[in-house]
Amino acid sequence: MSRVSEPELVASGVEQAPFILILCEGPELRVAAANAAARAVAPERKMVGRPLSEVFDDLAGQQWVDLYGQVYRTGEPVTGQQWRAHLTGPDGTVHELYADFSINPWRHPDGTIRGVIGSGVDVTALVRARLDAEQQNADLQQRYRRTRDVVTTLQRELLPRGLPVLPGAQIAASYLLADADTAAGGDWFDAIARPDGTVALVVGDVVGHGVTASGVMGQLRAVLHDRLDDGAGIAEALAAVDRIARRQSAARAATVCVAVLDPADGTLTYCTAGHPAPLVLPTGGGSRHLPVTGGAPLGTGSAFDVRTDRLGPGDVLLLYSDGIVERPGRSAADGTAELARTAEHAAGGRALHEPGAAPADRVCTQTVELLVRATGHSDDITLLAAQLVEAVPGLDLRLPVELSSLSAARRELGDWLTAAGAGDDDTFVLQHALGELVTNAIEHAGPQDDPVLLRAAVGPDGCLHAEVVDRGRWRPPVHHPDRGRGLAMTSQLVDTLHVERTATGTTATVGHRLSRPPRLLTGERAAAAPATSADALTVDEDAGGVRVSGPLDAATAPVLQRDLLRRSRGGTVAAAVDLSGVTHLASAGVAALHAVADRHRQQRTTLRLHAADGTPAAHVLGLVALPYSPPPGA
Q: Cβ(581)–Cβ(612) under 8 Å?
A: no
Candidates 457, 554, 561, 548; CA nearest to 509 is: 457
Q: Cβ(443)–Cβ(475) under 8 Å?
A: no
Residues of the chain where predicted confidence (pLDDT) is lower than 70: 1-5, 7, 10, 138-156, 179-185, 209-211, 446-449, 472-485, 522-535, 634
Same fold, 6-128 and 529-623: no
Write down the CATH number for the domain with range 395-516: 3.30.565.10
- Residue 75 — left, alpha, or beta (φ > 0 → left; ψ -120 to 50 → alpha)? left
Cα-based distances in Å from 385 to 16, 45, 199, 421 = 48, 37, 12, 14
- Rounded CA-CA distance 56/64 in Å is 9
pLDDT tens digits, residue range 593-606? 988 998 899 889 99
| DSSP one-letter string for 91-152 | TS-EEEEEEEEEEEEEE-TTS-EEEEEEEEEE-HHHHHHHHHHHHH-HHHHHHHHHHHHHHH
Superfamily of domain 529-623: STAS domain (3.30.750.24)
Cα-based distances in Å from 199 to 165, 239, 319, 434 = 10, 19, 14, 28
Q: Cβ(238)–Cβ(256) under 8 Å?
A: yes
Q: Cβ(49)–Cβ(81) under 8 Å?
A: no
- Rounded CA-CA distance 456/467 in Å is 7
Q: Which residues pair with 466 in a beta bridge?
A: 456, 510
Q: What is the mean pLDDT of the chain?
A: 86
Domain boundaries, the chain: 6-128, 153-388, 395-516, 529-623
- Rounded CA-CA distance 619/362 in Å is 30
pLDDT in the model for residue 474:
52
Nearby residues of 427 by Cβ (< 8 Å), 6 or more positions away: 414, 417, 418, 532
Find the helix or strand (DSSP H, E) in which 269 lies. strand 267-273
pLDDT tens digits, residue range 340-354? 999 999 999 999 999
- Rounded CA-CA distance 517/390 in Å is 21
Q: What architecture is the 6-128 domain classified under in CATH? A: 2-Layer Sandwich (3.30)
Candidates 627, 101, 16, 58; CA nearest to 373 is: 101
Nearby residues of 21 by Cβ (< 8 Å), 6 or more positions away: 14, 33, 34, 35, 37, 38, 117, 118, 119
The radius of gyration of the chain's CA atoms, rounded to the nearest angstrom, is 30
CATH number among 1.10.3720.10, 3.10.450.50, 3.60.40.10, 3.40.50.300, domain 153-388: 3.60.40.10
**What is the dihedral angle through the alpha carbons of 321, 325, 327, 332, rounded to the nearest 10 degrees?**
-130
Q: What pTM, to 2 d.p., does this model score?
A: 0.73
Cα-based distances in Å from 25 to 3, 111, 114, 201, 376 = 31, 15, 6, 48, 31
